[in-house]
Structure 1
Amino acid sequence: MIAAVNFDVSLVLKMFRIAIDLILVWLLIYYVISAFRNNVRTLQLFKGIIVIALVKVLTSFFGLTTLGGIVDAVLTYGVLGIIIIFQPEIRAILEKMGQTNNDYVHTVNLGEREKILNELVNCVTDLSKTQTGALITFERRQSLQDFINTGIKFDAQIKSELLKTIFYEGTPLHDGATIIKNDRIVASACFYPPTNKEVPAKYGARHRAAIGISEITDSLTIVVSEETGTISFVTDGDLRPVNPKELRAQLVSELDWYHSDEGDKQDE
């Protein structure tokens, strides 16, 4: 009787460990697919890994010695090949999983939020009308410090005239991205790794850079095309053309500090 009870307990514990193991694996797969669903090469990488893992399980279950040997060889020597071929994607995964913003705070009161929003929308609208190319990125929970370091760092209020001056073709800061952290402009002339996925030919270097930074961070980016004046809003590898009204709605919806309670408390 005691032996039977011990057997049942050990069996339950074993099944529990297996269940936890499977849940963690599927959560990891779900996270990666969700985070990089718009990155074709990353999805191809994980689909390939899943297929190889399934084949390995089947060869072990059915005792397929020859096929099992081939799979073992692929697993042994293929890891190095995957690291070399998919180095940018692997780096992006590690950056997105491990990079955090320790200075992520909300101290913007409600009145200032509306002023900042108006400055941003007015600026982008004017840039669109004059077909002045622009790339503006908002830092969120994941730090953009590595990309800030590629540009010219400064600290300034968000003003329409300042942003328009930055992106004026005659200024040294116009080529590259301007990064906004909370309610401050912190850098300009910053450069991002372009996306590896196929994009329509009508999109240029700014659009590819905007998609690229959105694939490896949780940032928000506004792009203004210098060819057409079209405004685009980019998040999670997804680029969407918007008009000024839609842009304002997107910023209200996506900018975390706009919904902060801390700034409201300071007004009371």
Structure 2
Amino acid sequence: MDILLEVMDQLSSWLSLLPRISLKNIVEIAIISFLVYELLVWIKNTRAWTLLKGLLVIFAFSVVVVLFKLDTILWILKNITAIAVTALLVVFQPELRKALEQLGSQNIISSILPMDQGKETNGFNDRTVNELVRATFEMAKVKTGALMVIERGTSLKEIERTGIEINGLVTSQLLINIFEHNTPLHDGAVVIRGNRVAAATCYLPLSDNMSINKALGTRHRAAVGVSETTDSLTVVVSEETGRVSVAEGGSLKTVSDAETLRSILSGIREVAEPSGSRFRLWKGRLINGKKADK
């Protein structure tokens, strides 16, 4: 019994040496853990993974240099550190830009900041859904390659500027004619905003995700690329196999039938409907007020 009490006293004395953890510390630990996890995921999915392995090799080399007191090499490492950091920022500028674009396209920010006050919103109705589904599977039957990007919360104006303005109502005939072989507009992507085809022959950023199936071509890699930097949804028709796929949130999934695609597109229409939150209503009043003043 005395031994047990002695052990308990010893444990309590050790615990008293530990810093006290408050609720604030727990919140900070959770936030830091989440940020570290997201950073590791980002590193894993980009070329930064190769960079990290290289940095580990340099770190191990530096430890050896310090242990063996190789002063000349240590002096060289200290003096090239600042230059190396600048060089890394230049080399990995595309990855850093993509990470910031993904951060800025999160719904939590767009719902707080009124970034879309000057943006016209058109309803994505059932007729548009049916026309898209009909055009997609008619092109799939004859293996006509197609790439249709549907705008949601994030503006696709920059991508739209790379193509030719159409501004036509979404119909299956229009989409089929655009992607028909040997026509002036068949190459590139179509941007769809609301119920209208905004532009055609648009260029999309290619994804550098190494996990994408190598059998897939540039069209599918472009679809994943635009879904990584925006919240858009892209419908892809393979020219080789006629397979229909949907890219969203950096992932690509195959759509087997028309009903599945209709269900996915109908989900976009439901999300696009204005919510009843006070903040969004107030933004709507501001927009309507400005239009009335004009």
> By the TM > 0.5 criterion, same fold?
yes
Change (3 A) 1:92 1:262: closer
The answer to whether the aligner puts 1:223 opposite 2:236 as a matched pair is yes
Q: Which residue does the alignment assign to 2:203? A: 191
Which AA in structure 2 matches 1:237? G
Larger displacement relative to structure 2 (19-28 or 166-175): 19-28
Change (3 A) 1:33 1:213: farther
Higher relative contact order (CA 8 A, sep 6+): 1
Q: Which residue does the alignment assign to 1:4? A: none
- Where structure 2 has 5 or more consecutive residues not aligned to the other structure, the ranges are 1-18, 276-294
- Where structure 1 has 5 or more consecutive residues not aligned to the other structure, the ranges are 1-10, 264-268
Change (3 A) 1:19 1:184: same
Q: Which residue does the alignment assign to 1:235? A: 248
Name which of 151, 157, 160 aligns with 2:163: 151
The answer to whether the aligner puts 1:97 opposite 2:103 as a matched pair is yes
Larger displacement relative to structure 2 (206-215 or 118-127): 206-215
User: Identity percentage over the alignment?
Assistant: 33
Q: Which residue does the alignment assign to 1:209? A: 222
C-alpha contact 1:38 1:238 (8 A) present in aligned 2: no
Larger displacement relative to structure 2 (191-200 or 25-34): 25-34
- In structure 2, distance between residues paired with 1:211 and 1:165: 24
TM-score, structure 2 length as denominator? Answer: 0.66
Which AA in structure 2 matches 1:173? L
Change (3 A) 1:95 1:121: same
1:186 CA displacement? 0.8
Name which of 76, 79, 97 aligns with 2:82: 76
- In structure 2, distance between residues paired with 1:79 and 1:21: 27
Name which of 41, 60, 63 aligns with 2:47: 41
Which AA in structure 2 matches 1:41? R
Q: Which residue does the alignment assign to 1:140? A: 152
Q: Deviations over 1:159-181 (max 9, x none)?
A: 11101111111221110000112
Q: Which residue does the alignment assign to 1:250? A: 264
Which AA in structure 1 matches 2:259? K
1:98 CA displacement? 3.0
> Aligned to 1:232, what secondary structure does the other structure show?
strand
Which AA in structure 1 matches 2:132? L
C-alpha contact 1:106 1:260 (8 A) present in aligned 2: no
